[in-house]
Structure formats: C-alpha cells, structure tokens
Amino acid sequence: MFKLLKRLSKKDLVLIIISFAFIFFQVWVDLKLPDYMSEITVLIQTEGSSMSDILVQGGYMMLCALGSLISAFIVGYFASFVAANFSKNIRRSIFKKVENFSMSEIKKFSTSSLITRTTNDVTQVEMLIAMGMQLMMRAPIMAIWAVSKILNKSFEWSMLTAGCVAILLFTIIVLMIIVLPRFEKVQKLIDSVNGVTRENLTGIRVIRAFNAEKYQEDRFEKVNGELTKMQLFNQRCFAILNPIMNIVMNGLTLGIYFIGAFLINGAGMVDKMTMFSNMVVFTSYGMQVIMSFLMLAMIFMIIPRVQVSAKRINAVLDEELTIKDGDFAGDTKETGTVEFKHVSFKYPDADEYLLRDISFKVKKGEVIAFIGSTGSGKSTLINLVPRFYDVTDGEILVDGVNVKDYKLDALHNKLGYVPQRAVMFTGTVSSNVSYGDNGKEDITSNKIKEAIEVAQGTEFVEKMDKTYDSHIARGGTNISGGQKQRLAIARAIARDPEIYIFDDSFSALDYKTDSILRKELKKYTKDATSMIVAQRIGTVLNADKIVVLDKGECVGIGTHKELLKKCEIYREIALSQLSKEELENA
C-alpha cells in the first residue's frame, strides 16, 4: 500500500498536507462547538443573563458549524482531486505496462486478472484515498482530541464512555470473527448457484434430451438451500449490531445524566453550575468519541481489503519485462525468409520443453505448413516468430536477422499475423480491417475492399446494413465465427506483409471457403511467405513444405507426397481424415 502511495505526485502531496491542516481546523471547530453549547447552557440557567449574550454564543456556535462545513468542502474538493488524479495515473501506468507485456507475462497473470487489476483494484484504492483523506485522517485526530477533552472533566464519565467504546468494539470484533469467514463461503455458494444455473442453460438440450429436468432442479435446490441457510445465519448475526449500537449510544447519554445527578448533588454551589454544563457538553463529546472509534473500526475492516488490491497492482507494475526491444530498424536485403536454427522453447517457470531442437527454413513466396495433434507445439512454434515468447535456446532469423535484434515495431511490420481465435474490436468493419500501424502510409478504403475480397468476405460484408461501415460490436458478437475469421484474415492482408502467419486461422471456415480463400490468397500475394498451422489435411496438402510435429519434436519435413511415404505420424493423421484412395487422388 505504502509503495503504491509513493506514486502520488508532488502536487498531490501538497494538497494532502493542506487537507491535513484543514482537517485539524475542522476537528477543532467541531470540538469547540459543544463548548459554546455549554456557555449557552450556563447563560440560560443563570438568572438575569441577557438575550444578546445568548445570541452571541449562538452566533459563535453557528460560526463553528459553518467553519466545519467549509473545511469539509475544501478537504472534500482536494480529496476528490487527489483520488481521481491518483487513480487516473495508476490506471495509466498499469495499462501502459500491460501493453508492453509479452504473451508470457499475460499468461502469467491471466487476462481476466489483469482486467480486474486495472479496473476494480484501482477503484478500491481510489475509494480508500478519497475516504481516507476525509474520514481516515479525521477519525484518529478526533478520537485523541475528544478523549483528551473529556479526560479532565470527570473520571466517572470517562470510564463510562470507555466502557461504551469497549462494548461496541467487542461486539464488532466478535461479529467479524464469526461472520467474515462465512462471507467468503457465501461468495462461493453464490458462485455455485450461478454455476448450476449456467449448466442448466448451456446444457439445456442435453438435459431435455435425457428428461433430466427434475434431476437438475434437485441439484439447484441443494445449493439454493445452502446459500439461503448461510445468508440467514450471517444476517441474523449482523442484525444484532444495530440494536446494540442504539442501546449503547442512548445508554451513554442516560448514564452520563444518571452519574451527573449524583455528582452534582455532592458538589458545592459554585461547582454545581459548571458541572451541569459539563454534563450537557460531555454527552456530545462522548458521542464524538464513540463515533470516531466506530470509524476507526470501519477503517480497519477496509484496509486489509485495499491492501490486497494494492499488492495486486504492485505485482503488475513491478513485473520485469522479459522481451526487450532490439535496435535494428528493419532494412534488410533479403525479404520473406524465416529460418529456425535449433530452436527449443519452454515457459520460464516450466520444467518441460514444449519445443525441442526445431530447424527449418522458408524462402520468399513459399508456403510452409505445420501439422500435429493438439499439444504438439505447432501454435507455440509459430508464436515465436512475432516474439510473443522468446526462444529458450537456438535462434530465429527473419530476413537473415535474429528476431531479438529487431525493434519490435520493425519486426511486426514485416508480419501479418492471424490468431487462432479471431479478435474483433468495437468499431466498424473498415476500422477492424485497417487496424494497427504497418510503418507505411494509412490503409486506404480500396485496399480494405480488396483485402476483404481476397478473404472471401465481400459477400457477407456487402449484405450488412452499412456494408464496410457496419458496426462491429464488442468482441465481434454480432457476426459469426467464420465471418470474424475472414475479417481477421483480411486485416493481415491489408497490412501487406512479407510474411503471413496463420495460427489455425481457417478452422471456422467450411472446406469450400477454406480452399477458395487460400487459392485467392496465393494469387494475390505471390511474393509473400506463408506459415500455416492447421488441423485439416486438406489445408496443408499443397504447401511447399510441411513440418510434422509430435510432442514438441519435428518428426518430418517435406511435401505431402514425401511425407505420406516416409512419415508414420503424418500418414496416421492423414488417414484419420481422408480415405486411402482420396489421399492418393489428391
């Protein structure tokens, strides 16, 4: 938490210090207020006091109230300024940091966790700062000051106040010990209720097909009942807090008066009057003390939660980047070549290698395909080229230069990468296709149309209500999987890269579209090199080179015909998809 707060700017710090002064002032006037109250009390009780005296005291009291209000305004203004500014800066730092992450860091934190860290966790810290500057700084000052004010008034009254505070704190602590762990359980049970409902919805066909409605309802009832029971227990426990708080606060006033009656009775005439006014004042001081202790208790409950958020934020900000930018600007004599030289790869913290000693070379204009069962490492391999991960051993050369020497921008400008899962951004068809920066001039609308045509998307795009300017919803939810994939491919084409990387990018297309698309692509980009990861034999059939992977090792490189003859695993894969005669005909 402290570490995070170090990121406050100088200006913020100055504002905090000024706020601190105002809070002091506010506490001072808040505590001064009962003093004037007691003056008024004395005046009323003393016969013959003039009305003007009372008005003067009343005026002072009003001034105190107004002073308190104004300083609260000022502190509130500064607090909102500091908190909003701080959260803005932290959010920006996190976002910037994440933008520089490589895929291995993303994988380490997980995307969803990074999202919560940038949003919810920052909001948590922001709330703490805003509240902290207004209440947290105030509570201890108030508590100490108010306590010191009462201490010399009367021992009995002080003891009573202390007793009340103790009862309240005790209740809160006991409740926390009983209820807090159960709160976590409630959260888990809510997740279960959610989970079973989700299952019911996603498996609705299966459930109906098996006539298992009753079975699922019984499962739901079970978690539903558990959740209700746990909630009931928690709420019934918590319900005790309010009555106790009321009885303690009312009891404090009553107790002070009750004790006061005896004290006054025992005192001399001179003291009686002061004692009486003290008594009236004490009730409000006592209330202030109790309130500030309640506030402190609340803060102690909040801080651990925010602490967790702060830690999670710091973890992101402190994460060391594994991929370092090179300084080669990307002007090469060769174009379109990719060479793997004894490349091995494992995740930084893993023991097992995902790729072992892979070597191959593709030249300009060639198509190289990678095939193998799931977990064979073909996706991992292709992700090494844009440096989503760095090789553990060996090296990868693009256009004869080690990828690690390139400036990342320059390297990416040579590549047209299409991921396994097509990514769509909120915007239009055009903005999605022309996405990014390729180091050349902006992508024209003609180019966009051309790219979509090659990617076999013209038909569906032109059917959309605003054709190329049609809205694409967040995550591309308003178009189908195959359409997303085609736009993702068009995006790569519009970039005019030297080297295409298709990470299983044709899986959502039917055979026919798949084959036409690749044919058109070949025609359109005669000079470009393609690296294709595929599941279907049909997709790789005509590649210049096919690399067969099995458990991270290269078990065969060659053309379809060669591999059918010499590579057992390739044959196995091929035969599981096509019949013998079909393979031979191909």
Partner 1 sequence: MPRRGPRIPEKSKDFKGSMKRLFSSLDKWRYLLIFSLILAMISAILALIAPNRLSDLTDTITDGLVPNVNEEKMTEIMNDPNISMEDKMKAGEILATINDENALEKIDSLPTSIYEEIKPEIDIDKVKEISLLLLILYSVSAVLSYVQSFSMSTISNNFAKGLRTKISTKINKLPLKYFDNHETGNVLSIVTNDVDTIAMNMNNSLASLVTAVTLFIGSVIMMFYTNWIMAITAILSSLIGFGFMGLILGKSQKYFIQRQVELGNLNGYIEEMYSGHNVVKAYNGDKRAIKEFDELNEKLYTCNRKSQFLSGLMQPIMMFVGNFGYVAVCVVGALLTMNDIISFGVIVAFMIYVRMFTNPLSQIAQAMTSLQSTAAASERVFDFVDEKEMSNQDNLTHHLDKSKVKGKIEFKNVKFGYDKDKTIIKDFSALAQPGEKIAIVGPTGAGKTTMVNLLMKFYELNKGDIFIDGVATSDLTRENVHDLFVMVLQDTWLFEGTVRDNIKFNKQDVSDEEIWEALKVVGVDHFVKTLPNGIDTVLKDDESISAGQKQLLTIARGMIADAPFLILDEATSNVDTRTEELVQKAMDKLTEGRTSFIIAHRLSTIKNADLILVMKDGNIIEQGNHDELIEKNGFYAELYNSQFQN
Residues 279-308 that bind partner 1 (CB under 8 A): 279-280
Task: Tell me how far apart the alpha carbons of residues 521 and 532 are, in angstroms, rounded to a whole number.
Answer: 13
Task: Tell me how far apart the alpha carbons of residues 500 and 491 are, in angstroms, rounded to a whole number.
Answer: 11
Least Å from the CB of residue 402 to partner 1: 18
CB atoms within 10 A of CB 251: 16
Within positions 317 to 346, which residues make up the interface with partner 1, using CB under 8 A? none
Within positions 133 to 152, which residues make up the interface with partner 1, using CB under 8 A? 134
Task: Tell me how far apart the alpha carbons of residues 113 and 120 are, in angstroms, rounded to a whole number.
Answer: 10
Applying CB under 8 A, which of residues 16, 130, 362, 448 lies at the interface with partner 1? 130
Applying CB under 8 A, which of residues 137, 316, 509, 549 lies at the interface with partner 1? 509
Least Å from the CB of residue 359 to partner 1: 24
Tell which residue, 147, 149, 153, 156, has the closest CA to residue 289. Answer: 147
Burial class (CB in 10 A: 0-12, 13-18, 19+), 459: exposed
Strands (E), 363-411: 367-371, 393-398, 401-402
Q: What angle do CA 496, 497, 499 make, to 5 degrees?
A: 145
Closer residue to partner 1 (CB): 260 or 556: 260
Three-state DSSP class for 481? helix
- The two tokens of residue 194 are 């959610």
Tell which residue, 498, 484, 419, 417, has the closest CA to residue 456. Answer: 484
Least Å from the CB of residue 127 to partner 1: 8
DSSP string, 498-549: SEEEEESTTTTS-HHHHHHHHHHHHHHTTT-EEEEE-S-HHHHTT-SEEEEE
DSSP string, 112-125: HHHHHIIIIIHHHH
Applying CB under 8 A, which of residues 146, 415, 429, 455 lies at the interface with partner 1? 415
Spell out, one character per residue from 49 to 68, where the chain touches partner 1: x when CB under 8 A holds, - when not: x-x--xx--x--xx-xxx-x
Is 414 near partner 1 (CB under 8 A)?
A: no
Least Å from the CB of residue 138 to partner 1: 11
Closer residue to partner 1 (CB): 274 or 393: 274
Three-state DSSP class for 542? coil
Applying CB under 8 A, which of residues 428, 470, 513, 559 lies at the interface with partner 1? 513
Least Å from the CB of residue 262 to partner 1: 7
Applying CB under 8 A, which of residues 17, 148, 409, 466 lies at the interface with partner 1? 409
Closer residue to partner 1 (CB): 80 or 307: 80
Q: Who's near 3: CB < 8 A, 6+ residues apart?
A: 310, 314
Is 505 near partner 1 (CB under 8 A)?
A: no
Within positions 435 to 454, which residues make up the interface with partner 1, using CB under 8 A? 435-439
Least Å from the CB of residue 196 to partner 1: 8
Burial class (CB in 10 A: 0-12, 13-18, 19+), 221: exposed
Is 160 near partner 1 (CB under 8 A)?
A: no
Three-state DSSP class for 475? helix
Cα-Cα-Cα-Cα dihedral sign, residues 238, 242, 247, 249: positive
Is 103 near partner 1 (CB under 8 A)?
A: yes
406 contacts 330 by C-beta, under 8 angstroms = yes
User: How many residues of this chain bind partner 1 (CB under 8 A)?
Assistant: 174
Is 475 near partner 1 (CB under 8 A)?
A: yes
Applying CB under 8 A, which of residues 14, 17, 18, 115 lies at the interface with partner 1? 115
Is 116 near partner 1 (CB under 8 A)?
A: yes
Closer residue to partner 1 (CB): 469 or 568: 568
E strand or H helix at 236, and its extent? helix 213-238
Is 577 near partner 1 (CB under 8 A)?
A: yes
Closer residue to partner 1 (CB): 152 or 576: 576
Closer residue to partner 1 (CB): 149 or 491: 491
Within positions 372 to 391, which residues make up the interface with partner 1, using CB under 8 A? 373-376, 383, 386, 388
Three-state DSSP class for 362? strand
Closer residue to partner 1 (CB): 59 or 359: 59
Closer residue to partner 1 (CB): 17 or 261: 261
